Amino acid sequence: MPELPEVETVRRGLAPHIEGKRIAYVDLRRPDLRFPFPEGFVEALTGARIEKMDRRAKYLMTYLTGLTGDSWVWITHLGMTGRFTRSDLGSDDALADNSIADVSFTPGRFHNQLEVAKHDHVIIGLDDGSRLVYADPRRFGFMHLVQADALSQYPAFVNMGPEPLSSDLTLEDLLSRLSARASPIKQALLDQNIIAGLGNIYVCEALFRANISPKRLAKNVGKQRLARLIPAIQTVLSEAIAAGGSSISDFKSSDGALGYFQHNFDVYERADEPCSRQECAGIVKRLVQGGRSTFYCGTCQK
DNA sequence: AGGGGGACCTGTGCGC
DNA sequence: TGCGCACAGGTCCCCC
């Protein structure tokens, strides 16, 4: 599911409701997601105070102060189909006035019924009576636990590329990272060690906006095109965040806060449709690169 | 070291 | 209605 904008949307939806709260209980419905839950996971979270929920690339980082005063970071990756849903278990009035904050990207469910759905794998109860439910049908997501002072040694972060919406992303740096790459630019941009947080949708969309062919070799993109690509990446991500992310999939229910950026896709999942540039007579095409679909206009992307 | 291919899972949609 | 296949927002691991 989630690329940077969707993960950021989840973070923004949850943070104000959970920061400062204490975790009352942790209910693991199975021993693993993609990986087994870490040793001591439940013990570390139970009773801990949630200080802050942050994001790096597609990772959610929840800073905790444990019962014994130690500082932990609870790391969550949503994989392809992971989602967090928050619900207040308070009064019926609270339900009636629609105060449930559902930040899922699939049909929302009312967890006040204390029902556990098939793919609800982790249930976190907070001291204000609310609950966080982590559901993940494919279980490509995972949770880890690291000591706060060891966060930079977390394997995925060691060689991770710059945050695209920060000043860490610079033309010179990206140029040098790409100059050694023989692979097509599409595949290079999916590498989290080149730029962090992009996924299949936003790489396709950014390349379209920058008029760059996904087939062009990374090392041949050059400074001129990169000077267009960086702002293209930043604007598409910013617009997607402002839209609450992209909710792709078939929705049968309108419960929950669905993103709507999918309505603004220029190329993604638009194969055989006309290029969205008025002046371009091209047709959007699909090809497979590195086993994943790429959508692009072969007429205006060079 | 970089790159290709497969693995990990479940669900959905489509053609027959 | 059922079956088989392709495909899905991501990473990780093995092998060359």
Measured between its terminal Cα atoms, the distance across chain A in Å is 29
C7 C1' to A17 CA distance, Å: 36
Chain C positions under 7 Å from a protein CB? 7-12
pLDDT recorded at residue A247 = 86
A62: tokens are 């929840």
Integer Cα distance of A267 and A76 in angstroms: 30
Give yes or no for CB of A271 within 7 Å of strand B. Answer: no
pLDDT (tens digit per residue) in A53-76: 999 999 999 999 999 999 999 999
pLDDT at A1: 62
Q: Tokens for A127?
A: 């001291």
pTM of structure: 0.92
Give the phi and the psi of residue A185 in degrees, each rounded to 5. Answer: -55, -35
Quick check: helix, strand or coil at residue A49? strand
Nucleic strand B within 7 A of Cβ A1? no
Q: Residue A183: its pLDDT value, please?
A: 96
* A223 is a catalytic site residue: no
Place of tokens 């087994």: A36
Work out the average pLDDT over A47-55.
Answer: 98
Distant-in-sequence, close-in-space partners of A113: CB < 8 Å, separation ≥ 6: none
- Which of these is catalytic: A5, A8, A56, A58? A58
pLDDT of residue A100: 36
Strand C reaches within 7 A of the A4 CB: no
In the predicted model, what is the mean pLDDT of residues A250-273? Answer: 77
Is A177 a catalytic site residue?
no
Q: Name residue A74's amino acid.
A: W
Residues 126-155 of A with CB under 7 A from strand B: 137-140
Task: Kindly tell me if the per-residue pLDDT of A198 is higher than 60.
Answer: yes
Rounded to whole angstroms, the distance from the CA of residue A130 to the C1' of nucleotide B6 is: 41
Q: How many CB atoms lie within 10 A of CB A267?
A: 24
